[in-house]
Structure 1
Amino acid sequence: MKKMITSCKTVILSSLIAVQAMAQQPAADSTSYLDNNFHNKAQLLTNQIIQSKAFQMTYIGVPLIVSGLIVKSNDDHFRSLRNAYISTFRNHYDDYLQYVPLVATFGLKAAGVEGRSSWGRMLVSDAFSATLLAAAVNGIKYTAKVPRPDGSSRNSFPSGHTAVAFMGATILHKEYGLTRSPWYSVGGYAVATATAVSRMLNNRHWMSDVLAGAGIGILSTEVGYFLADLIFKDKGITSKNLDFSDFDYDRNPSFFGLYAGFSLMPAHYQLSPHINLKATTGTTAGFEGAWFMNRYVGFGGRIAATSMPITLTEALPWPEVQQLESNPLNYITTSVGTYLSYPVTDHFLVGGKLLLGVNYIGDNTLFALYQKETEKAQEIKIAQVGDEFNANLTTGVSVSYVLKPQLGIRIFFDYSLNPAKFDTEYFVEMPQSESGRSQTILHSMTLGASVNVMLW
C-alpha cells in the first residue's frame, strides 16, 4: 500500500513538474507553433483544391466568362479609353494572329518535336475542342444579338477571334507547355491576349466580348481534352507532363503583366466661378512589372492610360446655355518605386507599393448648346483646358495568387495624388471669356486586376 501511495505521489509530482515546465516555456514558442500550424493547414487546403480535376479544368475559363458578364454594363467606359487615344486605329492583322498558337502547335508536331499526344489523339482532342467552341460562340452570338461597337452588325458577344486564339493557346499549352517548357504557354497566351486587345482597338468588340470569348476558348479546350482522355485513356500519350509538385515557390516574386481596372475621382473641381466639374467612373489599362531582390522587397514601375467622363455638378447660370459636351479626362501615367510582398502561403501573396512619377494630361475642350428663343441652337466653347505634365504619387495594396510556376493573377486597389496645374480659358458672359492658370490636387482611386508572368 505504501508503495502504491509512493508511486502515486511520484506520478503527481512528475505531472506538476511537467505542467510547470510547459507553463514556463516562452510565449513565442507557442505563438510560433500556432503560426506554423495555421500556415501548414492553409497550405494543405490550398494544394487539395488546386490539384483537383474540376479546378484544373475551370479555374481560368469560368472566371473569365463571369468577368465578361460582370463588366458588360461598363463596356462604354473601356471603349472610351480606346477612343481617347487611338480612335482611328484600323488593322486586320488579328484576322491572322488568332491562328498563330494553333499553327505553332501543328508546326512543332510536324517538325518532330514530341508533345503530349500522338497525331491521332491530338486531332481528336482538337476536333472536340473546336466543335464545342463553334457551338458555344455561334449559339450565343445569334441568340444574344449584341450590337458591335462600330454598329456594323448584331453578333458582337462573344468574340469569335478571341475564342479561337485562346483555344489555340490552350492546345499549345497542353501539348508543349505542360510537357516541354512553360514558356510555350507564355508565348501562346501572349499572342491570344494580343488578339483580344486588337479586337477592341479595331472597334469590333467590347471588353465583355473578349473576356467571355477567352473563357469559352479555354473551357472548350479543357472539356475537349477531357472527352478525348475518356476515349483514349492511356493510349497515344507520348510525353508526360512536367512535374511541378516539388517546385520551390520560395523565390523572389518578380513579375511583368497587363492590368485593367475602374478609376474614380471622388472630389469636385471648380474650373471657373460658374463651371464646376466632376469625373465619373472611368477605366484604366496598362503594363506593370517589378524585380524583387528577395521575397519581400522589390523595385519596379508601370505605365497606364486612363479615361474618365466629365460632367457638370450643377446647371450653368445662363438659361440659353444647355447640355454640356466634353471629351473625357484623359491622362497617361509613368511611375517607378518600391514594391512589397508577403507570402501568406506558397500561392497567396499580399503586397503593396509606393511609386513616384509623371502624369501627362491631354488638352480638353468643353462645349455647350447655346440657343436663344428665336434662333437655331449652336455649339459654343465654354472652356478650354491646356495639356500639362504634373507629378504623381501612387500607393496601393494587392492580393496575388500564383496559379502556375509562370502565371499569376492579382487584384489591386490603388490611390493616386496628382498636384495639377492647367492653363484655362473659360466663358464668362456671351461672348466674353477669360484666361488663367488653375491649380488643384486630383485624387483618384483604381480597383482592378492583372495577369502576370512570374519571372522567378
Structure 2
Amino acid sequence: MENCMKKVFLFVIFLSSFTSAYTTNFLITDSAQNVPVRYLISRKTPEKINRITDAKWFQMTYISVPLIVTGSLVEMKKEPFRSLRNEYVPSFHHGYDDYLQYVPIFALVGMKAAGVESRSSWGRMLTSDAFSAALMATTVNVMKLVIDSRRPDGTALNSFPSGHSATAFMAATMFHKEYGVRSPWYSIGAYTVATATSVSRLLNNRHWVSDVMVGAGIGILSTELGYYFADLIFGKKGLRHPQYDFDVTYSDMSSFLGLYMGFTMMPHHISLSPEINFNTSTGSTVGVEGAYYITPYVGVGAELLASSIPMKIQSGLSVPSNAHLESGAFNTITTSLGAYFSLPISKRWYLGSKLLAGYGNFQGNGVDVVWNDSETREEVRSDFLKMKHANFFNAGTGISLSFWAKKNLLAKGFLDYKVAPVNIQYYEASGSQSYQESRQTLHSLTLGASVNIVW
C-alpha cells in the first residue's frame, strides 16, 4: 500500500510539474507573439468535445448526474465527513435550514409578482415548477421509504437522500432558469443559499454528506426535466428568452473562488516511540480555495483547509484488562498560497496544477483509556496520552480537471499532495507528564471536487 501511494505521489508531482512548465512556456510564447489561447491538443479534438458539451442532454445532466453518482459512492465511505463536523463544531444545532430551503422560491414568486420579467410567462413557469416539484418529491420520498438509512444523530430511518437539499437545489434551479437570463449573479445567489442549506444539514448532524449530494442532484435533475416537459407542451408559447441557458460566452481568464471538499489519505503509520504507534485511515478535508489569473495560463491564489484524519493507537503500554484505548484524530488547519496553472483542452475543459507553500496548525486529540464502572455501570474515561498543538510549514502541489459549466460556474475534480514536517509533542498521563518530542514528516493525498464562482 505504501509503495503504491509513493508512486501516486510521484505521478502527481510529475504531472503538475509538466503542466506548470508547459503553461509557463505558453505564457512566454503568447506574450511575445500576442496570439489567441492555445489548446493542449489539436484543434479538431476540442471542436468534437465542444459539440458534446454544448448538446442539450449534456447541459441537463452534467451537474446532477455526477452529484447523484458521487453521492451514491460516498455513501459507502461517509463517516470521515461526519468526523470532521464532530471534531470542529460538535454542538452546532440551529433550525434556520427549515426555512432557508424555500428562500429561492419566495424570491422567484416575489420578483415575478413585482413585474420583473423572467424566462417564462406565469402559466409556463408554474407548469414547469409543478412538474419539477412532483418529480423531486416522488423521487425523494420513494427513496427514503425503500432505503431506510439511519440519520447520523440516530433519530430516524429516513436520512437518504436529503429532502431539504433536494428542495433547496430544486428551488435554486427554478430561480436560475427564470432569472439567470438577467444576470449570472442571480443564479450564484440562489445556489449559494441552496449550498448553505445543505451544509447546515451536515452541521446540524441531520444528514450524511452522501445524503445532501444525492438530494442536490435530484433537485437539479428534477427541475431540468420539469422544464423540459413544459417546453414540449408549450413549444415557443410564453417563452421570453429561449436561448439564455446555453448561449454562454467564455473569456480567456479563469479566476475562481469556491468550496473545496475531498477524501484525505496518509500512506503510512505514525510512530511516536517504539511503544506508541498510530495507524491512520481515510479522513476528510473541507475549505475554500481561489486564484486570480494574470494570464490565461498562470495565476496566483490561496487555500484555507481543515482536515481530520482518524487514527487508531497500537500501543505496547499496559492498560487494565477491563479497559480499552480510544483514539481521536489528527486535525490540521492549513493556509497556503502560491502559483496556479491552467491549460485549456477545449473552451470548457481545463487541465490545471499548482505549487503552494504555507503555514498550518496541528491539533492532536490524544488518546483516552475507557472502561465501565463496576458500580454505576457508566462509562468512565481518563487521559492516556496527551498531545500538544503544534505549528508547521507545509508545501503542496496537485493536478485538476475543470469544466466551465456556465459563464460564472466552474466544476473541478482534483488530486492534491501535501508534505509537512511536524514536531509532535506528547506525554503519557500515567508518567512524568513532561512532554516528549517526535519529529514526523506527514504526507497526505486528497481526492476531491470543488464548485467555483469564476470571472
TM score, norm. by length of structure 2? 0.86
The Cα shift of 1:421 comes to 1.4
The answer on 1:72 being equivalent to 2:75 is yes
Aligned to 2:105: 102
Q: Distance in 2 between matches of 1:431 and 1:336?
A: 41
Aligned to 1:327: 328
How many residues in Structure 1 have an aligned counterpart in Structure 2?
A: 414
CA distance 1:232–1:146, shift in 2 (3 Å): same
Q: Distance in 2 between matches of 1:369 and 1:87?
A: 20
The Cα shift of 1:434 comes to 5.1
Aligned to 1:409: 411
Unpaired runs of 5+ residues, structure 2, are: 1-37
CA distance 1:369–1:171, shift in 2 (3 Å): closer
Aligned to 1:449: 449
Aligned to 1:426: 428
Is contact 1:370-1:380 (8 Å) kept?
no
CA distance 1:117–1:270, shift in 2 (3 Å): same
The answer on 1:316 being equivalent to 2:316 is yes
CA distance 1:214–1:264, shift in 2 (3 Å): same
Aligned to 1:252: 253
Aligned to 1:293: 294
The Cα shift of 1:241 comes to 3.1
Q: Distance in 2 between matches of 1:370 and 1:155?
A: 33
The answer on 1:88 being equivalent to 2:96 is no
Residue of 199, 207, 214 corresponding to 1:205: 207
Counterpart amino acid of residue 170 in structure 2: M
Counterpart amino acid of residue 104 in structure 2: P
Is contact 2:39-2:345 (8 Å) kept?
no
Q: How high is the sequence identity, in percent, across the aligned residues? A: 48
| SS of residue paired to 1:415 | strand
Aligned to 2:30: none
* 1:325-376 deviations in Å (ceiling 9; x for gaps): 02111111111111111112211111111111111122422123479xxxx9
Aligned to 1:10: none
Q: Distance in 1 between matches of 2:232 and 2:385?
A: 67
Query: Which aligned pairs between 1:144-163 and structure 2 lie closer than 5 A?
Result: 144-163=147-166
The answer on 1:134 being equivalent to 2:134 is no
The answer on 1:44 being equivalent to 2:47 is yes
Is contact 1:39-1:345 (8 Å) kept?
no
Aligned to 1:180: 182
Aligned to 1:57: 60
Query: Which aligned pairs between 1:237-386 and structure 2 lie closer than 5 A?
Result: 237-242=239-244, 245=247, 247-249=249-251, 251-312=252-313, 314=314, 316-318=316-318, 320=320, 323-369=324-370, 379-386=381-388
* 1:173-227 deviations in Å (ceiling 9; x for gaps): 11111x2121111111111111100000000000010001001101111111111
| SS of residue paired to 1:170 | helix
The answer on 1:223 being equivalent to 2:235 is no
Larger mean Cα displacement after TM superposition, 239-248 or 400-409: 239-248
CA distance 1:273–1:110, shift in 2 (3 Å): same
The Cα shift of 1:93 comes to 1.0
Counterpart amino acid of residue 178 in structure 2: E
The answer on 1:214 being equivalent to 2:237 is no
Unpaired runs of 5+ residues, structure 1, are: 1-34
Is contact 2:262-2:447 (8 Å) kept?
yes
CA distance 1:38–1:75, shift in 2 (3 Å): closer
Q: Distance in 2 between matches of 1:388 and 1:81?
A: 19
Q: Distance in 2 between matches of 1:60 and 1:246?
A: 16
Higher relative contact order (CA 8 A, sep 6+): 2
Larger Rg: 1
Is contact 1:420-1:439 (8 Å) kept?
yes
